[in-house]
Structure formats: C-alpha cells, structure tokens
Structure 1
Amino acid sequence: MNPATPATPGTPDVLVVGGGIGGLGTAFALTRQGLRVRVLERAKEFGEVGAGIQLAPNCTRILDEYGLLDEAKSLGVLPRNMVMRDALDARELTRLDLRDLERHYGFPYLVIHRSDLHGIFLRACRAAGVELLTDRTVTAYEHTGAGARVRLADGRTEEAPLVVAADGLHSVARRQLVGDDVVSSDYVAYRAAVPIERVRDHGVAEDDVTVYVGPRCHFVQYALRGGDMFNQVAVFRSPKAVAGREDWGTPDELDAAFDATCDTVRKGIPLMWRDRWWQMLDRDPIETLVHGRIALLGDAAHPPLQYLAQGAIMAIEDGWVLARHLARRGAGTAGGPDWDAALTAYEAVRVEHCRRVQSTARAWGELWHLEGEERLRRNAIMRERDAYDYGFTDWVYGPTALSPDEEPAPFTPIPLASARL
C-alpha cells in the first residue's frame, strides 16, 4: 500500500499532474528548492508497472546530486558490460565496458526495477514534504490570471502559479494544448522479470546487459535486484499492425517472430508475460513545451521509442532542469520565482536535446532490425568499432544540455549513418 498524504488547504506553488517516475522526480526536485508542491495522481495508489529500467550516467549523476544514488545501487545492479549480439547466430557485434564508461563519465550505468526506482522517489517525496494526492483524475487544463488551473473528473478544480503536466504518453494536456496523435512504430514489447534460477541453464550473461538484434526483432536481458531476478524484453514488428488490424502484437506473433533466433533467445521467449504487452508508440517532436504557466514534461512532452533507454531519464532530467532554473530565478525566496523566465529557460534547454533523442531512437530502431544484406553490412561495421570509443554516446551520456550556461557536447552521428543503414 502506498497511501496518499491528506490534502492540505491553500494553494501550492506547483501542481504536478501524474505520480509516475517523472512526476515524482520533478516534485522532489522542486521541493528541494523551497517550493510547495502538490502531486495529483489518478490511480487510487501510487505505483509503477513494468519490469527493468536502465539508468545511464546522465541520470545517475542526478540521482547522486539528490542523495539517492546509494539507495538505487542497493536495489539495482551495476552490470559489467553492455554487449550487442546478432539474434540469429549470437555472435558479438560490439560492446561497452561499463566500468570504463563510469570512469569516463564519472557516474555508473545502473539497471533497476521500475517499481524500485519509483519507490525511491516516492519515499524521497514523502520525506521532503511533498503533498501526494491519489484518485485525482485531471480532465482539462485552464489558464488563469495568476497561473493555471486543472479540472478534475469529480468537478473540483485545483490551481497554482505553475502546473506541470507529467501525465504520460496519452497526456490530457498534450491532447488539449498540442492536439497531435501518437505514432505507431508497428513494434510491440513483451516483458518479464523472473527469478534468476529460471534462466541459469539458458546460457545467459548475468553480469551484462545483452541486446540481441535480429531481423524485425530484438531481445534484451539483464539481472535485477542484486542479481536475484532476471529481466527480459522481447520486441518485434507485428504483421497484424502492418496489415492495419486492431488486435496486434498477440502472443502467437511473439512466438513466430523469434522462431529463427539463437538458442539463448528462444529459451527466453516462453518466460515472457503473455497477459499483457506494450505497443511501441511515440510522438513527433514539438518545439513548444510551455503554454502559459502549463509545462509539458516527460512523455507528455517528448515520448521516445525505447531503443536508447532514455524515456524515464529525460523526464528526470526535465525536473532537474526546471528546478534549477526556478532556483536561479528566486524559488524559495520571499518574493517567489520569476515563473515565466524560468519556463522560458526550461523550454530553451530541453527542446533540441529531446528532439535529438526522439529522432535518434527511431533511427536506432531501424538499425537494430535490418534484414538481408543490410544486416550483414551493419554487423561488419559494428565489429570494427573500438569498444572504448565514446564519440557516439557523449552527447547523451555526458553533461547534456541541462543548462544554457553549459556547452552541450558536439553532435556525432551514429556510426553507420553513411552506410545507408
């Protein structure tokens, strides 16, 4: 049980709509700057669904600043390598030495259960005094003279000088303020987290994050919870989706998609949860994240496909950036912050970086799923990569454009871009 805190009278400084990782991370970041924050969560309890999540150094540096990294380490796993293999023949294509990666960036690469990361932020918010309200379904957003207001399904309203919409991929705020549709990639993801004993005879690498890339599919494996659990993600292109059917991504398609893969992958497929699956959707990048005193954040602002493992990280970064600019403009002082200047800075910092993540994730997905001769060309080029070359990760794992006072890392195209892949 994750009970909410009782509602308190008065107007908070900030309303955060959505109690997921992005919403709670933002609430905690803002509260650290002396702001009074109220979180509105539509569910009856705070919680998170899913399985594993990968946290690259651009996220663990923020957890470290928040004083939360040690707890995250205690609940997660610090893998030794990230290894990419061909899903058909299991041959290694390329790798990252994650211990050297930590030396390079100064912060570790961590894998953790989504619910454990959510719990870390939930406990941090409670300890910091964030007001956490559940069973609050927001149906509309409105501008006011002094900020913004949200309307709830039960007819009540809440208002504050700033409203942060962290209400996810299917955001009510995004639909109302932008009006665009989600974009289907025709790919679907199945997940599972099982006791490690169930996979030890499958030939798995317990100390690594392993990604098997295959024609129209890929498979990800890594340990969780101190090595006691094993996380698996199976992703494939759905023929039913391509054909325009509504019932796409079903378990029969899962089995067919991985039928020709290597032994380790095929042994993992029967363990996947078959009562639920996740259609892989994103949205086209947008230039405007701020509408008056309403700020879009996380998947409401820039939902990516999952290939760079940056979705939740971008939401955490968003909250860090917003809090930093509010602090620079008077948060926690008697006069209060210059809301509009802080929001302008937030938008200026985040739009381009997040656009790059979204567009690169789409390209990376195409690269992973190549067929025929293009697959063989990709494999040959990847095998030539120096395992200690960080030229294509610096822009995202390094100190990304978190502040206009910092120079973002220069952009380096993904290797293979010139090979028409």
Structure 2
Amino acid sequence: MSELSTSRIIVAGGGIGGAANALALARKGAQVTLFEKASEFGEVGAGLQIGPHGSRILQHLGVYDEVIAKGVVPKNLVFKDAVTAETLTKVDLGRDYQQRYGGVYFVVHRSDLHSALVTAAQRAGAELINDSTVVDVVTEGDQAYVTLGDGTVHTADVVLGMDGLHSTLRKKLHDDKPVGSGYVAFRGTIPMEEAELAAELDDVVGYIGPHCHFIQYPLRSGTMLNQVAVFQSPAFLRGEEKWGSADELLPAYDHCHDTVKSALKHMWTDRWWPMFDRDPVDEWVDGRMLLLGDAAHPPLQYLASGAVMALEDAKCVADYAAEDLHGDNANWPQILRAVNAERAPRCNRIITVGRMWGDLWHLDGAGRIARNELFRTRDTSSYKYTDWLWGYDSARDRGLAHIGA
C-alpha cells in the first residue's frame, strides 16, 4: 500500500500550482481529484523564470529533465539602466552558483512547464477534470464537502484551495481584495531570427528605469525571444477604474534608450496584464481546507518566484503528509497547521520584498543615481542577499520541524 493511499484530496484550480500539488500528492499514493474551471488545461502568458529553489523541486517531482529540455539555462542575470543601457551588475549563474544552490536557474515557456506537470500528475494517478468550478468548501467533522458550480457535491479528507489571485475560497477566511500595483505588463514572443539584437542573447537581461522596466531572454532552446514591458499606468495614477492599456505603452518608454524603445514594436497589444498582489496574511486554514499558491500568497513578479512558491507548497504538503501517518491515516488537521506555519513566513516575505524590489527598480532622480552606484559597486562574489531566496530548504528538510511539536 502506498504512503497515502487512504487519503482523498481535492485540488481546486489547475494552474501550475494546482498541477504540481496534484502530482506531488499522487506520487505519495493519495487519491487526488483536481477541478479546473477552464474547458482545457493551458497557461496564458509566455516566459517564466525558475530559480534553483524551483529546479530542485522539479527534480524531486520527476519532471526536471523534460522541462529543462524545453527551456534555456542562461549564463547571467544582467541589470542595465533603461535610460542609458549601461550594464550595472551581473549575477553569474554558472558552476559556482549552481553548486551553492544545488540547481540551475533557467527560463521556460509557461505552457511547457504546465503541460509537463499536468501530464505527470495524470500518469501518477491524479484525476484532472475540466469545466468544473469549485464555489464552496465546508468542513463537517473529518470530511470536507466541495460544491461545484453545477451544484454537485464531492467529499474529501482535505481540500487545497488553489483558485488563483481572484480566489473565491479565500473569502472564507479573509475579507480582502487584490491590491493594484499601478504597473501593467505587456508581453511578446518572436522567433529569434526576427529579433534585432546587437549580439547573441544568452542571458536574462533587465533594463530598469524610472517608472518602468523591460526584460529580454531566450526561450525554447534559443529559438524564441521573450520580452516583457512593465510600466506605471497614467490611468491608474488618475484614479481610473480601468488602467493599463495599449495606448499607454509607447509613451511610457519615451525617456528610455533606443535599444528598449525599438523592441516595443514586438509586444502584443491585444492583451495586457495589470499587476496585482495581495497583502500578506498568516492564516490559510479553514477546517479541512488549506489555501495555497496565489490564493494564499500572490506576489508581484520582481523576485521571479510566484510559480516557485507554488512548487515549494507542493513539496511541503506532500512531505508533511507522508511523514505524519498513523497506521494508514494522516492527521490532516495537524498537517494543514504545520504547512501553514512553515510556508506563511516564507511566502509573505516574498510578497513584501517583491514590492520593495519593484520600488528599487523604478526609482527616478537621486534615487536612481544612488541605486545605480549601489549596483555597480556590489560584491559580485557575495551571496548574502540571495541565500534566503535561492538557498531555501524547508524546516522539515533541515530537520527542525516536527508535526505536533
């Protein structure tokens, strides 16, 4: 009998986090059902950056080789001034970095990562069901009752609420709303041969400037160029309800270097992504339901760790559940409390530091001058500011946490 073969788990939401959690728990033998409201599985967007804190977990989940084969391992993270195009600093992602953090930093198309997790979860025995929206979860005794949009009710030992930034299930714990950053993202991918680059691109390059930034990196074995333009919306500053539209894109970069301005013509202008997060909360548990992923801790993208936080969630839940067995049964109330206690400080730090990092990127005037000098003079051999992010090990892996302690 597998470790968790008597546990019935429902996952609400089929994004990267939901698929990863379904996979991690199914690999432990749990009976997992995932409900996804969309008619088919897929990820909107383009490129995604995965640090070593994520690549280690993909190895653990058994999908790393498949995912990395479709991605690119860049040589450096490069920060440039968006106004002058001057290189300010680099993070070498080579051998020393990989040995320190036990994994690689890589970039991959969101759909490639998501597809690998979905397929692996199904192979592991998880049942993934589309056209099914979870609208409520109620705990009675040792059971959770899950109501779908069509009125059907399903039972489980535990429910993972992973229904995203605009989570319906979060409302059962917190009366809050997503927080608009005032910044909007435009994306675009093109074949690499159509890119007008001065040299071959084998880095992740970020141009940071007053009230805007611009990111470039290769995708799909270097055959595609991924670009992201992020800027502060004038409509947001005017207090308008609808903000961040295509007519704001080009003017937002008028003060930037021609290298940046010339690349804007490749951005998609039929869609854009106003950037939201939520204020940190410490409580993610409601009876037999645990919020995870963006439903619990949606960050802004500045630390490139939103997807990785959901991967860390997946490993944490599966590890604690497999550890806390009493005969064939897991003590789910204790497991959920332990996961909440383990993950909330970590993920809430990502939210708060991410906001601060975004402010740093977008400084103007004297602040920009000071930031640029700080970046130019940083000790590139030091990892003291990044170990907390990329070198993270769960308390369980460090041997510091025990359920019920």
Instruction: Quote the sequence identity (%).
Output: 47
Question: 1:334 Cα deviation (Å)?
Answer: 5.4
- In structure 2, distance between residues paired with 1:400 and 1:243: 43
Residue aligned with 2:186, SS:
strand
Aligned residue number for residue 162 of structure 1 = 158
| Corresponding position: 1:138 with 2:134 | yes
Range 252-261 or range 201-210, more displaced = 201-210
Report 1:113-124 matches (<5 A): 113-124=109-120
| Corresponding position: 1:41 with 2:62 | no
- In structure 2, distance between residues paired with 1:205 and 1:398: 30
Q: Which among 346, 363, 374 is matched to residue 339 of structure 2? A: 346
Counterpart residue type for residue 69 of structure 1: Y
Question: 1:202 Cα deviation (Å)?
Answer: 3.0
Q: Which among 91, 94, 108 is matched to residue 96 of structure 1? A: 91
Q: For the Cα contact (< 8 Å) 1:19–1:40, is it kept in 2?
A: yes
Aligned residue number for residue 29 of structure 1 = 24
| Corresponding position: 1:194 with 2:190 | yes
- In structure 2, distance between residues paired with 1:276 and 1:340: 42
Range 143-152 or range 210-219, more displaced = 143-152
Range 392-401 or range 308-317, more displaced = 392-401
| Corresponding position: 1:367 with 2:360 | yes
Structure 2 gap ranges (5+): 1-5
Question: 1:261 Cα deviation (Å)?
Answer: 1.0
| Corresponding position: 1:358 with 2:351 | yes
- In structure 2, distance between residues paired with 1:28 and 1:244: 43
| Corresponding position: 1:376 with 2:372 | no
Aligned residue number for residue 336 of structure 1 = 329
Aligned residue number for residue 250 of structure 2 = 255
Aligned residue number for residue 169 of structure 2 = 173
- In structure 2, distance between residues paired with 1:183 and 1:114: 24
Aligned residue number for residue 324 of structure 1 = 319
- In structure 1, distance between residues paired with 2:229 and 2:400: 37
Aligned residue number for residue 416 of structure 1 = none
Aligned residue number for residue 50 of structure 1 = 45
Question: 1:150 Cα deviation (Å)?
Answer: 1.8
- In structure 1, distance between residues paired with 2:215 and 2:173: 36
Counterpart residue type for residue 399 of structure 1: Y
Residue aligned with 1:226, SS:
coil
Residue aligned with 1:44, SS:
coil
Question: 1:252 Cα deviation (Å)?
Answer: 1.5
Aligned residue number for residue 106 of structure 2 = 110
Report 1:225-304 matches (<5 A): 225-304=220-299
Q: For the Cα contact (< 8 Å) 1:46–1:134, is it kept in 2?
A: yes
CA distance 1:335–1:400, shift in 2 (3 Å): closer
CA distance 1:103–1:395, shift in 2 (3 Å): same
Q: For the Cα contact (< 8 Å) 1:345–1:404, is it kept in 2?
A: no
Question: 1:253 Cα deviation (Å)?
Answer: 0.8
Residue aligned with 2:270, SS:
coil
CA distance 1:191–1:224, shift in 2 (3 Å): same
- In structure 2, distance between residues paired with 1:374 and 1:155: 55
Q: For the Cα contact (< 8 Å) 1:349–1:404, is it kept in 2?
A: no
Normalization by structure 1: what TM-score? 0.91
Aligned residue number for residue 179 of structure 2 = 183
Question: 1:262 Cα deviation (Å)?
Answer: 1.2
Q: For the Cα contact (< 8 Å) 2:214–2:228, is it kept in 1?
A: yes
Q: For the Cα contact (< 8 Å) 1:12–1:38, is it kept in 2?
A: no
Runs of 4+ in 1 over 6 A off after TM superposition: none
List per-residue Cα deviations over 1:154-183 (Å, max 9, x = no partner).
111112010000110001111232121111
List per-residue Cα deviations over 1:308-354 (Å, max 9, x = no partner).
01111101101110110001012xx8532111121111011101111
Question: 1:12 Cα deviation (Å)?
Answer: 6.6
Q: For the Cα contact (< 8 Å) 1:317–1:402, is it kept in 2?
A: no
Q: CA RMSD in A?
A: 1.5
- In structure 1, distance between residues paired with 2:394 and 2:93: 23
Normalization by structure 2: what TM-score? 0.95
- In structure 2, distance between residues paired with 1:318 and 1:164: 10
CA distance 1:86–1:407, shift in 2 (3 Å): farther
- In structure 2, distance between residues paired with 1:146 and 1:108: 41
Aligned residue number for residue 7 of structure 1 = none
| Corresponding position: 1:314 with 2:309 | yes
Structure 1 gap ranges (5+): 1-10, 409-421
Residue aligned with 2:84, SS:
coil
Aligned residue number for residue 5 of structure 1 = none
Residue aligned with 1:126, SS:
helix
| Corresponding position: 1:153 with 2:137 | no
Q: For the Cα contact (< 8 Å) 2:67–2:113, is it kept in 1?
A: yes
